[in-house]
Structure 1
Amino acid sequence: MHHTPNRGRRITAAASSLALAATLLGGATAPTFAHTEVTPASSHSPAEMLQPEPTSPTAYEFGETLATLEGEELETTFLAEIIGHHQAAIEMSQLELERGTSPDIRTHAENIIANQQHQIEQFTRWLEEWYGLSPEEAMAQAPAEAQEEMKVLEEETQMMIEELAAVEAGEDFDVAFVQKMIPHHQSGIIEFLEPQSRAPHAQLRVAATAGITTQQAQVADFRTWLAGQDDTE
């Protein structure tokens, strides 16, 4: 049972952390867009079509939920979510290797697969060693609010993968991959914020910091590349 004053402080801290994340990521992750209507891609001008897709508002909600959790509950809930999140990034990156043409983007995809597979194995092992749980068991014992948010995130991610899988091979696939990987990485950064600062295990705090650093660098590179595609229109 959490005391209301502590919960309020955690939510305030989460809001500050998310605002910082938005600033670091170029402002595109500001949670105020939660009620913004998304215009179908077909009605966009060419320049607008090369903007990244928006970050899921549910990712911010999940970040706020993590801010209300402590200790074991914080770690197990975070790990239950991030393992599946990383697996989705690997699936998207494998599609890029199959269909993409840009050497730079393909190299990023290879790095995503290597880095995130390593963290999946690390996080799965820690769940077992620290708490005797599989990722599925950790998800099943997460707070109800977190479970609902994780379900929505999983559905949104699956739709993202299906949309990407429908894109034909070639330069257009590179663009679609980057447009989707930017918000996917941004969601991951949001999820890493609380364990980075408050996870009981130092190993997890270090891994969260590494995850944020790596994904921020990739987002910056992806944004630069996407802007370069605009210039060639």
Structure 2
Amino acid sequence: MLTARTTLTAATALVAALTLAGCTATQQNETENAPAASASPTAEAVFNDADVTFAQMMIPHHEQAIEMSDSLLEKDGVDEQVRELAEQIKDAQQPEIDQMTDWLDEWGADESMGPAGHDMGAMGDGMMSGEDMGRLDDATGAEASALFLEQMIMHHEGAIDMAEVEVENGENPDAVALAEQIIEDQTNEIAEMQDLLAAL
């Protein structure tokens, strides 16, 4: 009797152990065979033609705004508030140029749009002509302050138009966010410049 009971107990324990092992093996196989969770694409990897065009066009646009600001800051007799605004524009737009340049590098796109690229002047984006830049370079004092404001208002309006196209058509979340920031910042600066212009 004791022997039979011992044998039965041992057999029961063995079945339980095999069953547990089987469950464990099944769970392990299911885990090993389960498809790996696909990593979500990085912001840099998600982009379309609108994002590339936005960066390619906004970089030279920002570079001209910095050039205009530098021209003003080299002059004497310029309104101090206008001078501070020019510094503000430089401080905001150079980091944005650097960011967009990095994006184009990550996307494998050229910084220049090349001969088949867009005609920025024809798109009404507020870019100053060589003659416009020459007028600003030659202006002095209060005349330079007023001309800078007039030109920069048009320049900002063009940037806002470009940014609105990106918000509507872009795919890269960081580029769209930058476009939204440009719209907000430059809309506020246009209002500030209009006030300064009226006060000169």
**Normalization by structure 1: what TM-score?**
0.60
SS of 2:183's partner is helix
Q: Which has the larger radius of gyration?
A: 2
Provide the aligned C-alpha RMSD in A.
2.0
1:164 alignment counterpart: 136
Aligned pairs for 1:57-206 within 5 A: 72-99=48-75, 101-129=78-106, 131-136=107-112, 139-140=113-114, 144=116, 147=118, 149-150=119-120, 152=122, 156-168=128-140, 170-206=141-177
SS of 1:173's partner is helix
SS of 1:74's partner is helix
The alpha carbon displacement at 1:155 in A equals 7.5
Structure 2: gaps (5+ residues) = 1-46
CA separation in 1, counterparts of 2:95 and 2:132? 23
Indicate conservation of the 8 Å contact 2:126/2:158, yes or no. Answer: no
Of 203, 206, 211, the residue aligned with 2:182 is: 211
1:64 alignment counterpart: none
Matched residue count: 151
Structure 1: gaps (5+ residues) = 1-70
CA separation in 1, counterparts of 2:161 and 2:135? 23
Indicate conservation of the 8 Å contact 2:58/2:159, yes or no. Answer: yes
1:191 and 1:224, CA in 2 relative to 1: closer, same or farther beyond 3 A?
same
Aligned pairs for 1:5-20 within 5 A: none
1:151 and 1:224, CA in 2 relative to 1: closer, same or farther beyond 3 A?
closer
Percent identical among aligned pairs is 28
CA separation in 1, counterparts of 2:63 and 2:89? 10
Indicate conservation of the 8 Å contact 1:88/1:161, yes or no. Answer: no
**1:137-189 Cα shifts (integer Å, max 9, x gaps):** xx128xx5x52x22546984333212211212x11111111011100110000
Indicate conservation of the 8 Å contact 2:126/2:159, yes or no. Answer: no
**Normalization by structure 2: what TM-score?**
0.69
CA separation in 1, counterparts of 2:84 and 2:121? 31
1:83 and 1:191, CA in 2 relative to 1: closer, same or farther beyond 3 A?
same
Higher relative contact order by CA 8 Å / sep ≥ 6: 1 or 2?
1
